[in-house]
Structure 1
Amino acid sequence: MSTLIEQPVEARLVAAAPRMPSIPATLHYDIGDPFAVRMTFPAPATLEGVEVCWTFARELLVSGMERSEGHGDVRVRPYGYDRTVMEFHAPEGTAVVHIRSGELRDFLARTTDLVPLGHEHRQLDLDHGLAELMRDAC
């Protein structure tokens, strides 16, 4: 069984122009970091011309599909029947994208099949992590 899920999604960048350009993005989930989801945007889709990866809580994505969630760098909220809005706040500015909610639901279902919600802690090797911390402290 794979411990990593990657799913391409189509994000529509909300901009001042009337046309919302479509940009590719990829959602990632790895049981090695069971509480987190990563969303990667390729270099051509970013202002800096380098790949950008945002990491945020899987629970934020789950909750944000139902109601407005997030107070930090990443915010998620439902929009209409089958869209979810994600806002990414950085010192350079804010990017707002629309993503089909169905794509997000499919991704989250796959992550839940791998690690059920509320069971993330079972994937963590706390003894190993504590041993690593103690080793570095000496």
Structure 2
Amino acid sequence: MSTVIEHAVEARLVASAPCMESVPATLRYDREDPYAVSMAFPPPATLEGVEVSWAFSRELLAEGVEGPAGLGDVRVRPFGYDRTVVEFHAPEGVAVVHVHTSEVRRFLERSQHLVPTGRECQYLDWDGDLGRLLGE
């Protein structure tokens, strides 16, 4: 069984102009980092022209589908009938994207099959992580 899930989604980049541009994005979950998810944007979708990836907690994403969640660099909240808003806060500014809630739910469900919520600590490699930290 694969330990990584990648789920392509269409994100709508919210700008100050009235129209929203669609950009590809990939939600990613790796069983080796069981508490985290990431959302990556390919080079053509970023101002820098390089892939940009944001990592944040799976719990934050799950909570944000149901109601406003997050106080830091990443904030998630429901919007309308089938949209989830993800805000990425950086010193350069704020990027706001809308994603279909059904796609986010599908991704979260797939991640639950790999690592059920509440059992994440069973998938951590404590000895390996400690060894790398100590340089062994």
TM-score strictly above 0.5: yes
Residue of structure 2 in register with 1:120 after alignment: 120
Which has more radius of gyration? 1
Residue of structure 1 in register with 2:49 after alignment: 49
Residue of structure 2 in register with 1:13 after alignment: 13
Under a length normalisation based on structure 2, what TM-score does the superposition of the two structures give? 0.96
Distance 1:43 1:131 in 2: 35
Cα gap change, 1:133 to 1:103, in 2 (>3 Å): same
Q: Which blocks of at least 5 consecutive residues in structure 1 are unaligned? A: none
Cα gap change, 1:109 to 1:92, in 2 (>3 Å): same
Offset, 1:29? 0.5
Map residues 1-138 of structure 1 onto 2, 5 A cutoff: 1-135=1-135
Residue deviations 1:18-76 (CA, integer Å, cap 9, x gap) = 11110000011000101000110011111111110000000000001111111111000
RMSD: 1.0
- What secondary structure sits across from 2:131 in the alignment? helix
Equivalent pairs: percent with the same residue? 63
Q: Which blocks of at least 5 consecutive residues in structure 2 are unaligned? A: none
Under a length normalisation based on structure 1, what TM-score does the superposition of the two structures give? 0.95
Distance 1:111 1:20 in 2: 29
Offset, 1:119? 0.6
Distance 1:24 1:133 in 2: 35
Offset, 1:134? 3.4
The one-letter code sitting in structure 2 at the alignment partner of 1:3 is T
Offset, 1:135? 4.1
Residue deviations 1:91-111 (CA, integer Å, cap 9, x gap) = 111000100000000000000
The one-letter code sitting in structure 1 at the alignment partner of 2:123 is Q
The one-letter code sitting in structure 2 at the alignment partner of 1:63 is E
Distance 1:93 1:37 in 2: 22
